[in-house]
């Protein structure tokens, strides 16, 4: 996989077009394909002219024209993103994050229509009320610093993803992940990742249709004796495989949700 980083507002349309074509030719020269696209707004100081919606739209149009077959896409959400991901018909992996660097920041958003081919979705740093369409082939849903405006909205999301097997909950709003919400997780969900931001009471309420729970806690919060006996016992009674991972504080080993999802996908494949 060869990736292209597109910084909107960084280049004029003609220069951007030439740059993408050059990157595509360079990939072809070594027998590769330009199939991963990362779109981010360029950083602007407050004293500089900020990126306009026109800058953003022009960059998206050029990317879609020259790279229609990308399978991996990362971009920031804004009002014009609604129909954009669905334009890529080969898309398998998508990362959507809260808006950065001067573009309009959304308070609550509905996830835009997504292509039927999508299998992996990672939402970051946003508040959402759910999906605007069904994601029938989605197997992996990762949520990082995501807030649901109502606790039931998590379940609504999962109902729109009937093939979901892998669910990652990383530093999501605790109030959005209640015991009653996690108890309603569909039977298709087999593997769950959670950071310490999710309450142990909520995780203990996971249904027995879940096969494994990976709980990641910063090492500086742990004592020499385990404080997770209540959670591990709840999993034991439901025959859920319980794994505890420690993360270093500032320094030391990390176990991000992306790495966990990759391991689970490799195990299922």
Per the CB < 8 A criterion, the answer to whether 191 and 165 are in contact is yes
Which pLDDT does position 44 carry in this prediction?
74
Task: Evaluate whether 248 touches 219 at the Cβ level (below 8 Å).
Answer: yes
Decide: pTM greater than 0.85: yes
- The pLDDT score that the predictor gives to residue 157 is 85
Three-class SS of the chain: CEEEEEEECCCCHHHHHHHHHHHHHHHHHCCCCEEEEEEEECCCCCCCCCCCHHHHHHHHHHHHHHCCCCCEEEEECCHHHCCCHHHCCCCCEEEEECCCCCCCCCCCEEECCCCCCCCEEEEEEEEEEEECCCCCCCCEEEEEEEEECCCHHHHHHHHCCCCCCEEEEECCCHHHCCHHHHCCCCCCCCEEEEECCCCHHHHHCCCCCCCEEEEEEEHHHCCCCCCCHHHHHHHHHCCCEEEEEEECCCCCCCCCHHHHHHHHHHHHC
- Look up residue 230 and give its two tokens: 């209540």
pLDDT at 7: 82
Looking at residue 126, its pLDDT comes to 86
Q: Parse the chain into domains and list their residue ranges.
A: 107-268
* CA dist., res. 214 & res. 212, Å (int): 7
pLDDT for residue 239: 94
Taking every pair of Cα atoms in the chain, the longest distance, rounded to a whole number of angstroms, is 62
Q: How many CB atoms sit inside 10 A of residue 77's CB? A: 26
pLDDT at 253: 58
Tokens 């739209």 -> residue = 57
In 3D space, the residue among 245, 184, 254, 252 whose CA is nearest the CA of residue 214 turns out to be: 245
User: Is 197 in contact with 174 (CB distance < 8 Å)?
Assistant: yes
Ramachandran area for residue 110 (φ above 0: left; ψ -120 to 50: alpha; else beta): beta
pLDDT per residue of the chain (269 residues) written in tens, 0 to 9: 688 888 877 788 888 889 888 988 888 888 888 899 998 777 777 787 777 778 778 888 888 888 888 999 998 876 566 667 888 889 999 999 886 544 444 556 778 888 899 999 999 988 887 887 788 999 999 999 988 888 788 888 888 889 999 999 998 888 889 999 999 999 999 999 999 889 999 999 999 999 999 999 876 655 444 567 788 899 999 999 999 887 765 555 578 899 999 999 988 65
């Amino acid at each position: 996989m060869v990736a292209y980083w597109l910084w909107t507002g960084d280049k004029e349309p003609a220069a951007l077009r030439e740059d993408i074509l050059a990157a595509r030719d360079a990939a072809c020269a070594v027998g590769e394909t330009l199939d991963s696209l990362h779109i981010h707004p360029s950083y602007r100081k407050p004293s500089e002219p900020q990126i306009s919606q026109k800058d953003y739209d022009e960059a998206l149009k050029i990317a879609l024209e020259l790279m229609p077959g990308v399978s991996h896409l990362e971009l920031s959400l804004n009002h014009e993103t609604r129909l954009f991901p669905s334009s890529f018909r080969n898309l398998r992996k998508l990362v959507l994050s809260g808006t950065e660097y001067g573009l309009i920041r959304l308070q609550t958003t509905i996830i835009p229509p997504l292509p039927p081919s999508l299998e992996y979705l990672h939402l970051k740093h946003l508040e959402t009320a759910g999906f605007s369409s069904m994601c029938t082939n989605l197997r992996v849903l990762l949520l990082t610093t995501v807030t649901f405006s109502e606790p039931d909205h998590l379940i609504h999301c999962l109902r729109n993803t009937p093939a979901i097997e892998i669910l990652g909950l990383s530093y999501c709003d605790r109030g959005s992940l209640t015991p009653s919400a996690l108890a309603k997780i569909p039977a298709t969900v087999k593997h769950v990742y959670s950071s310490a931001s999710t309450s142990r009471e909520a995780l203990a309420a996971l249904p027995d249709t879940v096969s494994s729970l990976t709980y990641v806690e910063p090492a500086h919060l742990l004592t020499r004796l385990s404080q997770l006996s209540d959670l591990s016992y709840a999993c034991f009674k439901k025959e859920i495989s319980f794994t505890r991972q420690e993360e270093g504080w500032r320094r030391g080993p990390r176990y991000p949700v992306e790495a966990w999802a990759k391991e689970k996908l490799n195990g299922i494949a």
